[in-house]
Chain A
Amino acid sequence: MSSVSNVSNSQSGNVFGSLRTWFSEARNTILFVIGFLLFWEVAVIVFRIPRYILPSLSSIIRQFIRNFDLIWEYTLVTGYETLVGFSIAVAIGVPLAMMTAFSRILRQTFYPFAVALEMVPKIAFAPLFVTWFGFGFIPKMIIVFLVCFFPILLNGILGFTSLSQEMVYFSRSTGASQLRMFWKIRLPAALPELFVGLKGAAVNATVGATISEWIGGDAGLGYYIQIATGQLRMDLAFAIIFMLTALGLLLFYVVQMVEKRMIPWHVSQRVSVFGKSEV
């Protein structure tokens, strides 16, 4: 049972010890990232790549610092669109997934409809939304909502319907009501699949916000990238892309933290990103 003792060790380790464990696991990753960034910086200089094709890392950082006020202002704009669109997608998608999973009528009517809609490229609607709702917050929020809603809905339905027949038999043999069965078994059993959808949605969210700002916006990081590239200021464009990446990572990280809190027991949580199993 060496696997079992390993688990308790990592839980009881002190802060310094766990930090050291983390570093020893992450060392190769960190070294690689540093190496990559160094290569970028050197290669741009050595191969004399023009600034309007690929700027050096240092110039990107300079631009980031110089334009930070505007970048930050637009980060809040894009962040707000992302967060509101994502939240509404969660608030509607999760209950709707539940209802669809448990209602035969909805499974026969709404579900195939939703699957078909999922195939529609949501971004294609962006110009229409601009016509309908103008250049402001609403059309972006709707696009973010759409690109988040379907992964949440479809994975949610999958989660709520994925109970094994044996588990259903066991539940029935206890005489438990549908409601009790939902709270004790169906809901927790659905969470892993649901979080797959939530993480997919988190990835989509900033993409949706950025593209919708390209199509018709007067503020936000996507809008700002267009301004920067229009002026061939690639170093500024990259600085904004870094910020966008950070924004996307933040949302993803928050969802992952919630996931770790809610389903620490699930198999996806037992393997670290470095491929080394913790158990």
Chain B
Amino acid sequence: MVAATLVLAATPHSTWEATLKELIQINGVTKTYRSKAGPIHALGPLDLTICEGEFVSIVGPSGCGKSTLLLLVGGLLDYEAGQIFINGNLVNQPQTDIGIVFQTPVLVDWRDVLGNVLLQIEMRGLRREDYLEKAKNLLRSVGLAEFEKRYPFELSGGMQQRAAFCRALIHNPPLVLMDEPLGALDAITREQLRVDLEQLWLLTKKTVLFVTHSIPESVQLSDRVVVFTPRPGQIAEVIEIDLPRPRTIAVRESAAFQQYVHQLTSIFMNFGILRDTVSSPQSNAVVGE
């Protein structure tokens, strides 16, 4: 197995990380699920450090523990070994200083879009009125200004997911966890939402931990891409994406962008996650071990 260590130590040509404050520290964390067939070692041991304001993607095959890591960082699952710190505080209970977005929008049917964004505020026992203006501004920034009185069922999947982004940002959390937020959208909507998501990120400068299956998506959005091995998920490699922002069409079609995609694809191929020949279940099993 690949040594699951990542040292933040920046590559010589970029020194900006060193000036940033570390927000998340993951030290030797492992996670095992219990199942009828016995314990399943899902994740780790894993070391990773994420700085404030960074956009970090985790890519890897299905079942490699990407989403598990996200939930561990959010304090929504327990881990057996190792430690996770956010801002120097040990994560041992659900973290409330975060925003969270899932593959499905997880909006409530009985509230309009504005009400759904403000649900975050009401659940925290904060005053709705204090955040009304901010909620409207956020919705405007994702193009939902005219839809704040609409109910989720009246909106397309992409619009619902935009509302979910706003709900994850309204309380101004330093950290936003995103678990394949674009994974359930059609290809064109997905393309557009990547662009919108980057704009939103450039606007708010939150730290984002982003799980995805898509290599181009990770390159387009991230400062760093963390590639996971098949289960138990460990870090295969960390690639720094040194491309100008915003990542316009010109950037996306550039040779440098393609080079990053190629580099990540190669890592996947080295692990047998992607291959040029038809895969057989047996070979999959071997790779999964």
Identify the A interface with B (CB < 8 A): 3-4, 7, 164, 166-167, 169-176, 180-181, 184-185, 188-189, 263, 265-267, 270, 279
Contacts and interface: CB of A to CB of B under 8 A. Distances in A.
Contact of A7 (B71, B108, B154): B154
B102 interface: yes
Contacts of B108: 167, 185, 188-189
B94 A172 contact: yes
A189 B95 CA distance: 24
A279 B106 contact: no
B122 interface: yes
Given A167-B106, A173-B74, A180 B125 contact: yes
Contact of B125 (A4, A176, A263, A265): A176
A172 B104 CA distance: 17
A235 to B, nearest CB: 49
Interface string B109-128: 11100000001101111000
B153 A265 contact: yes
A184 B111 CA distance: 10
Contacts of A279: 153-154
Contacts of B201: none
Given A167-B108, A266-B109, 14 more contacts: A4-B154, A166-B106, A169-B71, A169-B74, A169-B100, A172-B94, A173-B76, A173-B100, A174-B96, A174-B120, A184-B122, A188-B108, A266-B110, A279-B154
Given A166-B102, A180-B123, A180-B125, A172 B76 contact: yes
Contacts of A3: 154
Contacts, number: 64
Contacts of A175: 94, 96, 123-124
B98 interface: yes
B150 A184 contact: no
Contacts of A166: 102, 104, 106
Nearest to A176: B123
B85 interface: no
B98 to A, nearest CB: 6
Given A7-B154, A171-B123, A270-B153, A265 B106 contact: no
A180 B102 CA distance: 22
Contact of A170 (B100, B110, B111, B154): B100
B131 interface: no
A184 B108 CA distance: 10
Given A172-B94, A173-B96, A173-B100, A263 B123 contact: no
A7 B151 CA distance: 11
B165 to A, nearest CB: 13
Contacts of B111: 265
30 contacts: A3-B154, A4-B150, A4-B154, A164-B104, A169-B76, A169-B100, A170-B100, A171-B123, A172-B76, A172-B94, A173-B74, A173-B94, A173-B98, A173-B99, A173-B100, A174-B96, A174-B120, A174-B123, A175-B94, A175-B96, A176-B123, A176-B124, A184-B119, A188-B108, A265-B110, A265-B111, A266-B110, A267-B109, A279-B153, A279-B154
B117 to A, nearest CB: 13
Nearest to A191: B110
B135 to A, nearest CB: 15
- Among all A-B residue pairs, the 6 with the closest Cβ atoms: A175-B96, A174-B123, A172-B94, A176-B123, A265-B110, A166-B102
Nearest to B99: A173
Contacts of A181: 123
Nearest to B167: A170
Contacts of B120: 174
Contacts of B95: 173
A29 to B, nearest CB: 26
Contacts of A172: 76, 94
Contacts of B71: 169
B49 to A, nearest CB: 22
Nearest to A263: B110
Nearest to A174: B123
A267 B110 CA distance: 10
B153 A170 contact: no
Nearest to B124: A174
A181 B106 CA distance: 15
Interface string B81-111: 0000000000000111011101010101111
B84 to A, nearest CB: 15
Nearest to A175: B96
Nearest to B105: A166
A250 B248 CA distance: 62
Contacts of B119: 184
A169 B123 CA distance: 13
B154 A267 contact: no
B111 to A, nearest CB: 8
Contacts of B154: 3-4, 7, 279
Contacts of A266: 109-110
Interface in B240-285: none
Contacts of B99: 173
A183 to B, nearest CB: 10
